[in-house]
Structure 1
């Protein structure tokens, strides 16, 4: 029995787990080819889940944003580091129900903490030390937020970072990510976060795969250190798409625990039968380059040719 995805990369998998920033969209613009590819996957009856380290929006806001861009999405299909951080705290004995939690971040993080029965407030608005502090990305963060976070971290409160992404793909180009903001607080406070909730830890990907009832999901992301490392840790096939942070040279030089199984020019190659042979060729080139312990000029030339660059 044949199906619409037979002979494509996506035809080898039973769910699609997508990062968002740099993969599906940049700011308020869809990445070229992304909408059509996701529509094709959904039309074939394959579950799609959106797995993001960006903690600035709620799942409902993310789903609404995706729909505005032409991608059908429901809040329950969105899994983010804000939810992972909230559940991490809610599961701790030293953070009781209703405990005060300081936030260096935005509404997405505040809402996630409320959803698990905690009492969040922006760190800059707190007069008394909270039971814990959570830090996540928000484009509205300012010096006062970082200064307030530093105050509570220096006081010794439990400190959880949603993620440590150093960069963030935007319409302005590669911009500072949550990891740099966490580093600023860590440097000022003289200590590191007590825990990190999101990618590259495997929890988000495993939860997404379970929710999609998938045995062989495909993870697609634009970062080796979060998306691909998380896929490897979760035991899933990982594809690096070249529309965001990391590129060909990064893939060739990737560490063992961050190596992509697949290299994609864009999401359109997921559902294009004509692209499958090129994708398989790239896999072979990458594996040989890693075995040779070097990104040789020949390997780069073959990949560039396969990518049409």
Structure 2
């Protein structure tokens, strides 16, 4: 399929929570968009920082939502964390697992020995989110890390999106151990490279495109890995977050949802827009409809605003609409 954002890419890396689904429901447009990616023959990898579920369970969940997903298309931070350990430790090394059974299984598959609390002198600690983690597990990890054990965190997400709102993520528990040990872990998941590199390698790809909803994990991970990225406005990060993002958090493209994959690159790229005019002051932006042009939509306005602001500054900025249509669009974006 020519003339779309997919052109020139040999794999699409898709974040899950907030990008493909929210809780037990697909994000609007996700089903059709992913089906079309499969139809045109571009491989898909579902890349998740969630270390609590095995790859087959993730694939089964996607199938239950109506997608055609295979276990081999899933890359988890548990797999990446175990791979980081295997690169640094001899086979058979004892690893204290602070996480779910899925993480224990990945450590075992990597040729290491997963152990629990009160194990004799583990040489490493691996930490992933698990709702059954108790104080004693964190205390054992603290003691092992202080004794010199290698510490790997599957991911550093401080929050976890749920149907009721944001709950504590693995990063919140990582921060607890950082405070208790005065040390920092190696991180396997986004925004660090191991998870993304592993997903790209599993597809034998050389020209990936990362797609996600979080600037601090999905987009920062793509920047760290040197790959282009598409941000979708269906999850955690907002239009204001994007507008005020610093350079290491900026995507190349932005779309309302995954259907942006099937628009032309020029249409979804962050840049000047023919339908919008943006005037930049030192601490504010004014958006107006371009004279003689059909009114543009909200996401195209966001692309124009980001291009103008990023070219001159970063950080907080006030945004004003110079006409009624611009004011309405800014309200839709939460920027008014």
Same fold (TM over 0.5): yes
Superposition map of 1:132-281 within 5 A = 132-193=124-185, 195-271=186-262, 276=267
1:118–1:299 Cα change, 3 Å? farther
RMSD after superposition: 2.7
Q: Is the 8 A contact 1:265 1:307 kept in 2?
A: no
Answer with 251-260 or 211-220: which moved more.
Answer: 211-220
Checking the alignment, whether the CA contact within 8 Å between 1:289 and 1:296 is kept in structure 2 is: no
Is 1:90 aligned to residue 86 of structure 2?
yes
Return the offset for 1:204: 2.7
**1:7: how far off?**
4.2
CA distance in 2, matches of 1:148, 1:104: 9
**Equivalents in 2 of 1:80, 1:230: separation in Å?**
14
* Post-superposition offset of 1:248: 0.8
Aligned residue in 2 for 1:297: 319
Is the 8 Å Cα contact of residues 233 and 257 (structure 2) preserved in structure 1? yes
Q: Per chain length, whose mean CA-contact separation is higher, i.e. which structure has more relative contact order (CA < 8 Å, sep 6+)?
A: 1
- In terms of fraction of residues, the more helix-rich structure is 1
Question: Where does structure 1 lack aligned partners over 5 or more consecutive residues?
Answer: none
Deviations 1:81-117 (A, max 9, x none): 211211111112xx22111111111122111111111
Structure-to-structure mapping, 1:64-79, within 5 angstroms:
64-79=60-75
CA distance in 2, matches of 1:232, 1:196: 16
Asked whether the equivalents of residues 49 and 77 of structure 1 are also in contact (C-alpha less than 8 Å), the reply is: yes
Structure 2: stretches of 5+ with no match in the other structure: 269-296
Q: Which string of whole-angstrom CA distances, capped at 9 and with x for unpartnered residues, describes residues 55-79 of structure 1?
A: 1111122111111111111122111
Aligned counterparts of 1:200 and 1:108: Cα–Cα separation in 2: 21
TM norm structure 1: 0.86
Greater Rg over alpha carbons, structure: 2
Partner of 2:275: none
Q: Tell me by how many angstroms 1:119 deviates.
A: 0.8
Cα deviation for residue 280 of structure 1 reads 6.3
- Residue of structure 1 in register with 2:308 after alignment: 288
What residue number does 1:9 align with?
5
Count of residues in Structure 1 that have an aligned counterpart in Structure 2: 299
CA contact (8 A) 1:285 1:302 kept: no
